[in-house]
Amino acid sequence: QVQLVESGGGLVQAGGSLRLSCVADGRTFANYDMGWFRQAPGKEREFVAAIRLSETTYYTEYTDSVKGRFTISRDNAKNTVYLQMNTLKPEDTGVYYCAADSWVSRTSTPRYWGQGTQVTVSS
């Protein structure tokens, strides 16, 4: 069973920061790449960031709109993936979902998802 639990969302003013967390079960975290997607009101779900393991090196990928502002990372000891979000903008508002699969990228549709956490950025 794949278990993904997000937390850390909330209401912040534009220019502020939030750090989202996603705790996975150990088997999932050990065997899959991880990523973050979001869905804004009235829009379809979109890719935000991914962290992938190739051999012994982790690589990250971001959608253009968050490059330089968001950072994805993982803590293997805690089975947790993070999304540090800085310089938040109102257009970052949406429900953020943690995702896991053997391949997570801008073009992927991961098989496993968390329940989502709401991020609201006010002007």
DSSP for the chain reads ---EEEE--EEEETT--EEEEEEE-HHHHHHSEEEEEEE-TTS--EEEEEEEEETTEEEEEE-GGGTTTEEEEEEGGGTEEEEEE-S--GGG-EEEEEEEES--STT---SEE---EEEEEE-
- Could you tell me which of 10, 7, 43, 2 has the C-alpha nearest to residue 120? 10
Predicted confidence at residue 69, as pLDDT, reads: 98
What amino acid is encoded at 12 in this protein? Answer: V
Predicted confidence at residue 47, as pLDDT, reads: 98
Q: Residue 4 above 90 pLDDT? A: yes
Q: Residue 85 above 90 pLDDT? A: yes
Q: What is the mean pLDDT of the chain?
A: 96
Tell me how crowded residue 71 is: count the other CB atoms within 10 A of its CB. Answer: 16
